[in-house]
Structure formats: structure tokens, C-alpha cells
Amino acid sequence: MNQLDALKQHTTVVADTGDFLQIAQYQPRDATTNPSLILKSVLKPAYAPLLDAVLVQHRGRPLDEVVDRLLVRFGTEILRVVPGRVSTEVDARLSFDAAATIARARRLIALYEAEGVPRERVLIKIAATWEGIRAAEALEREGIHTNLTLLFAFCQAVACADAGVRLISPFVGRIYDWHKARAGAQWDEAAMAGPNDPGVQSVTRIWHHYKRFGIPTEVMGASFRNVGQIRALAGCDLLTISPELLAQLATTEGDVPRRLDPAEAARAELPAVHYRAGEEAAFRFALNEDAMATEKLAEGIRLFCADARRLDALIASRH
């Protein structure tokens, strides 16, 4: 058995890509996209006809609407390949505006439903800022399910659970990047691999917390740098994996033992929770106390915004 099939015995595998022509061979259940992945895909010659079709069909419409229609077109094509759900991201420039995030999420869902896609097959991705979490809380009450992304801190995960979001995407690789850069020459790659990887540890703590307290929010590890991080989280609810790492798993023979076990949640050591649901000041203070999470959340939003602007510019130049 290859390691991808072995992983699927414990965890739902999700493809982290906008390249729907690449997905089918790995047979994931779901797929996730973000502004960077859509930009990467739309620049490929294979997707030029799709881009042209969207631009011709919606010529003269406002730029932000055309972008959303392009995102939905990619998502609709992905759903022809995967049996489950697709995650489509709200413009990261709205990360600190709850009302605008809600409005954009409603439009995305309306566009999907106009294409015959039921809302149960779509997760709206939103940055796990305070405003993003509040927007997700309101959307979930409307039956619009959300995927809270750019999640680095335990307090973000607790706040998402309090808000009743459907799924969170704690980032493994970017946490690993931060700690590795901070350690510099003192970083010991072998010693910090597997269960000692700080990104793996972060997801494990969140998963144990959710299981201990019966929280239904799904945990989907994301942003992997190597297959070792993926194997170390076997048993997590879902893992979203790039095509490159899916290929490595699919071409490597061997077992992938389960690492996250619900039975361990009862005895796992968990961080303290220093605020109650809905306490904005306490949330912001807890996030501020985590230098890694504060820096990576801000950086992640900036990077997604930059790629959103590049996508805007590409469409505007041809619209």
C-alpha cells in the first residue's frame, strides 16, 4: 500500500490546489483554494480558455464581481472532480471588516447556488481575525458553512469553536518556518521533526482540546512543508495537502500509523484558556501574547492581499 492510501485509512485527504486538472489522480474527498493558488492556476496556459470564458460572459461587470465569478467557476470545476466540498476564500482585504465579509460570503454562495451547487458542498474561507470569526458565527447561523484559515494560535481555535464554525485550518508549515527562522543556526532539523515539530504540536493541541470537550468543529491541518509533518498528524480529521506532497505520498510504499488518537485527548496537557466566548479584548490580548501567531497572521493576510491585487490586475488588463 502506498502512504497516501494508508493515510486515508485514518484521515480525510483534501487537495490544496486550484489546479483541478491535477486533482483526480489522488482521489481526495475535498479541495481547498486560496487567492495564491487561484492566481497560480489561472496563469497556466491550460486554464486560459476558462479565464477567457468568464471574462467574455461577464464583461462590463464590476471587477470584484468578476473575480468572485472566476473563483466560483474554479470551485464548480473542482466539484466535478471531488465528491465532497470545496473551500473558496473571501477577499483577504476584508479580513478586518465583518459586515463586508458576510456580504461577500453571501454573494459567493449565491453564485454557487446559481450554478446548481448546494451550499453544503461549499466552505467559505475567512481569515481567523476577531472580525472574521464574528462573520463566520453569523454565516453559520444562516447555514453558510465556513473554513477559518490563517490559524496559528490556540486562542484562535478556541474562539472558532465558541463561534460554532464548521472547520478550521491550523497552519503547520508557517509555524515551523517561524520557529526555524528564530532558532537560526541552532535549529536541529532531525530533533525537531515529527511530534517535536512546533507546527505539528500546535495542531495536536487543538485537536486534543476539541476531542476532550466534544467540540464538533472539524480540524484540518494545512500548510505542510514535508511529508513527515503529514505522517505525524495521521488521525487528524482532515489534512489539506499540495499536489507535490500528494505525489510523494502516492509514490512511497509503506504504512502510516495513526498518531492522533481520541483516547489520548483525556490525558493530554493543554494550554489554559484565559477568556470566555465573545470577549474581544481578552481574545486580542491572548493573540498578542503569541508573537509567532501575531506575526504570521499579519504576514499571511498581507501575502493573500498581494496575490488578490495581482489577480485583480490580470483580470483588469483583459476585461
Reported as a pLDDT band with limits 50, 70 and 90, residue 110 is very high
Instruction: Name all domains of the chain by residue range, CATH numbers in brackets.
Output: 3-317 (3.20.20.70)
Consecutive H or E run containing 81: none
What is the predicted pLDDT for the residue at 157?
97
Q: What is the pTM of this model?
A: 0.96
Residue tagged active-site, from 8, 125, 211, 296: 125
pLDDT band at 177 (very low <50, low <70, confident <90, very high): very high
What is the rounded average pLDDT for all residues in the chain?
96
141 band by pLDDT with thresholds 50, 70 and 90 = very high
**Average pLDDT of the residues in 253-264:** 95
Burial class of 79 by CB neighbour count within 10 A (0 to 12, 13 to 18, 19+): buried
Q: Which are the contacts of 200, defined by CB distance < 8 A and separation ≥ 6?
A: 172, 194, 229, 232, 233
The CA distance from 258 to 243, in Å, is 22
Residue 192's SS3 state is coil
Query: In residues, how long is the chain?
Result: 319
What mean pLDDT comes out for the span 131-157?
98
Answer for the pair 167, 217: CB distance below 8 angstroms, yes or no.
yes
pLDDT at 246: 98
In the annotation, is 125 catalytic?
Answer: yes
Rounded distance between C-alpha atoms, residue 192 and residue 184, angstroms: 13
